[in-house]
Amino acid sequence: MKVSSSVALTASSLLAFTSNAEPIKRTQKCGLPLVQDKALVDSILLKDLLGCAQDLEDIAYSTSYRNRVHGTEGHLNSVDYFVEQLKSLGDYYDIELQDFTTEVTIASKAELSIDGEAVEAGGFSFGNNGTWADTPLVTVANLGCNAEDHPATLSGNIALIARGNCTFVEKITFAGEKGAIGAIIYNNADAGVAAGTLGGVNDLIPVAGITRADGLSLVDQISNGATVVSAGEFWQYIDNTTSYNVVASSKHGDANNVLFLGAHSDSVEAGPGINDNGSGSCGLLTIAKALAKWKTNNQVRFAWWTAEEEGLLGSEHYVNIASPSVLDKIRLYLNFDMIASPNYVLGIYDGDGSSFNLSGPAGSAEAEKLFEAWYESQGLPYVGSEFNGRSDYGPFLDQGIPCGGLDTGADGIKTDAEVTMFGGTAGIWYDPNYHSAKDNVTNLNLDAFEATGKAIAHAVATYGKSWAGFPSRNATSLTRKSLGLPRKYSTLARKSRRGKKSY
């Protein structure tokens, strides 16, 4: 095992787990047959995907916080689990652990009452601590995305703001500048309380999230002349913690033409994070284990990223410490974040820009077409997902690396047209359990999980065997970071239309 110089983990330090995932016998890389598409795809079984998901849920629930936040016991045990599963394959992969330290929300409390009656409420990642009592609510005009939307009467009061169009940070910054001592953001869909991230430690006013129905009711009362008072108690325990990226590279195949697949392995504080993103993590692990029965012509690399929920920090760390020559050997990076959403769509990253007018480096369009052709061959519908770098592929895009991937939706709103294509319920989130304690195994959509898992295996078999028809990497990608090209994402707006949002 390769371990970074600052990591002291050894094989003897790894925890023992009773795994629900299907075991695979140790194999040797020599004498293996060349990977075959149909055989690899057919070997991806729902019971193995679900077994892994159950293992991750068990890991989370065995800890006091019942989550897998970066640096907590739940995440460190998840890292150990991935390493143990990979080591069980013998010497097929070189395994590297990359340590990374950052601030994370470990625990939190969110309580809100209106006119003395308790109201369902939630906090926001990196929200500040605050307590207030008997404080009037003042409505903010429009969506609160401009300073003029926030009236002077906010001074000393609580801002009531609708979700949408701009970041949470922008809304509460404007409110704070007008003297508000706190803010309440109500959702823009019937999908539970508003929730999300402020992107990092800040000095903003405290903020709560409530449901759309509660928010509209309060707006109606205030507009009819009522004085509505609130009381709130919000706090978060934030600490510097260390955890690890797990990177596994096949020991055979052309190391100058790497197929790289990644998924984040951490959760938010609210729950075990089984769709977000145990599903993507388990999709990759199941395929990595199945691939160990085959050889490939091109090196295949898998990564389980830490600290994605804190702002893509694990994948960004990998890119930042990798040499330009290492990055230039990556022919394609594929990302998988939330692939079993209960109210799902089958989303494909829009690498050619045909759906959202945001395209990627040469090769991104080809990756999109590969997945489109696969879904079509299986008689499955699909939609484009906005290709804006707001998941762990963002740092790779910034280096000029072709990217692609699949998702099944997060806190975007499902349309009537999508219900016609995929079934489900219009007008609510693709994952109504997003960033909540209900994001567990029982709420995964098994059809979506299996379809995306097999689609990923198809990509691995295709590009693991040959890059025929795929564009060569442009040598200028070695210097893209120094060219001053605009970043495609920021800490305050990390995710796609169907991905996780900070607004």
Least confident range of 121-130, 220-229, 438-447 = 121-130
Q: Which of 27, 30, 6, 19 is nearest to 83 (CA)?
A: 19
Q: Confidence class of residue 477 from pLDDT cuts 50, 70 and 90?
A: very low
Residues recognised as catalytic: 308
Q: How far apart are the first and last CA of the chain?
A: 41
Whole-number pLDDT of residue 496: 36
Pairing outcome for strands 182-186 and 207-210 = parallel
Residue 478's pLDDT band (cuts 50, 70, 90): very low
Please give the pLDDT value at position 30.
58
Q: For residue 272, is pLDDT > 80?
A: yes
Average the pLDDT over 336-363 and give the result. Answer: 97
Mean pLDDT taken over the chain = 89
- What band does 107 get if pLDDT is binned at 50, 70 and 90? confident
Judged against a pLDDT cut of 60, whether residue 296 lies above it is answered with: yes
- pTM comes to 0.82
SS (H, E, C) 200-256: CCCCCCCEEEECHHHHHHHHHHHHCCCCCEEEEEEEEEEEEEEEEEEEEEECCCEEE
Distance, in Å, from the CA atom of 288 to the CA atom of 100, rounded to the nearest integer, reads: 24
DSSP 358-415: -B-STTHHHHHHHHHHHHHHTT---EEE--S--STTHHHHTTT--EEEEE--SSSBPP
Q: For residue 309, which of 343, 268, 256, 360 has the smallest C-alpha distance? A: 268
CB 390 within 8 A of CB 377: no
Q: Which residues pair with 159 in a beta bridge?
A: 138, 183
Supply 51's token pair. Answer: 């077994």
pLDDT at 26 over 90: no
Instruction: Compute the average pLDDT of residues 380-403.
Output: 96
Check whether 12 has a pLDDT greater than 50. no
